[in-house]
């Protein structure tokens, strides 16, 4: 069964550094998302992306964050200057028909900011 | 703003029992609701998606219901097995086009099925 893949599985970075989290969505999916889960807390929506542009973003997704689909298969989340509170599990998700179909999640990237 | 609550936070039952997980949401203008399963160190696996026009969805031993008027959804697991042990998350989608593309998640129910 096709799946969403994320790399790396674990990333450690120092405060103030830039990180790029990578995702390969399911190939025929057109809608892409990033969510995050701080340890012990709820999964939170960050951003949705369709047709090469952001559809919607949450309050969490401030100017430090950006997303990109650099080619036909990858979808990336960049954090420009990481803060301690950015430490979390970041999940990429994709869906075939946006809001009308189930979301398929990757296994996540655990980001640790020291 | 949509809030999603799941009760209980944790549940441990013997193998073979039928069980119900509960989810409540504050905004009845919910567009759809999904149930997910999360295994330790893994991503979320979509189990069932209920559109707002539907009352329930079934997949194998799982049945999910949606009652918008009462702000509730339930996930029924029949004949539970040890492999069902996981955290079950409920997530609601608000009104699309109203700035609500993202799912609002509950904190989950941590389920343990005792062999």
Taking only the tens place, the pLDDT of each residue in B9-27 is 999 999 999 999 999 998 8
A108·B43 Cβ contact <8 A: yes
* Pairwise CA distance, residues B86 & B103, whole Å: 20
pLDDT in tens, A19-55: 999 999 999 999 999 999 999 899 999 999 998 999 9
pLDDT for B82: 97
Q: Note whether B110 and B90 are within 8 A (CB).
A: no
pLDDT at B29: 80
Distance from CA of A85 to the nearest CA of B (A): 19
Whose tokens are 């109203």? That residue is B98
Q: Please write down the long-range contacts of A12-17, taking CB distance under 8 Å and 24 or more positions apart.
A: A12/A112, A12/A114, A13/A82, A13/A111, A13/A112, A13/A113, A13/A114, A14/A82, A14/A113, A14/A114, A15/A82, A15/A83, A15/A84, A15/A113, A15/A114, A16/A81, A16/A82, A17/A81, A17/A82
Query: For residue B44, which residues of chain A lie inside 8 Å, CB to CB?
Result: 43, 91, 93, 103, 105
From the list B42, B100, B106, which residue is nearest A42 (CB)?
B106
Cβ separation A33–B102 shorter than 8 A: yes
- Before B8, cis peptide (omega within 30)? yes
CA proximity to A66, closest of A12, A19, A112, A24: A19
Give the confidence band of B93 by pLDDT, cuts at 50, 70, 90: confident
Tell me the count of A-B CB pairs closer than 8 A.
61
Distance from CA of B77 to the nearest CA of A (A): 20
């Amino acid at each position: 069964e096709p799946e969403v893949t994320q790399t790396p599985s674990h990333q450690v970075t120092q405060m103030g550094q830039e990180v790029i989290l990578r995702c390969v969505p399911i190939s025929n999916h057109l809608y892409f998302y990033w969510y995050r889960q701080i340890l012990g807390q709820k999964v939170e929506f960050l951003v949705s992306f369709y047709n090469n542009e952001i559809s919607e973003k949450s309050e969490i997704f401030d100017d430090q964050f950006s997303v990109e689909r650099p080619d036909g298969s990858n979808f990336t989340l960049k954090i420009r200057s990481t803060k301690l509170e950015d430490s979390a599990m970041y999940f990429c998700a994709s869906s075939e028909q946006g809001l009308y179909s189930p979301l398929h999640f990757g296994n996540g990237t655990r980001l640790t900011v020291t | 703003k949509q809030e999603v609550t799941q009760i209980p936070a944790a549940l441990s039952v013997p193998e073979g029992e039928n069980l119900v997980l509960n989810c409540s949401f504050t905004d009845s203008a919910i567009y759809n609701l999904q149930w997910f399963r999360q295994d330790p160190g893994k991503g979320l696996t979509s189990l069932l998606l209920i559109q707002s026009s539907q009352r329930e969805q079934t997949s194998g031993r799982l049945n999910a219901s949606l009652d918008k008027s009462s702000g509730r959804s339930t996930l029924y697991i029949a004949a539970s097995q040890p492999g069902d042990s996981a955290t079950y998350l409920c997530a609601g989608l608000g009104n699309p086009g109203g700035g609500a593309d993202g799912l609002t998640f509950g904190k989950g129910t941590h389920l343990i099925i005792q062999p």
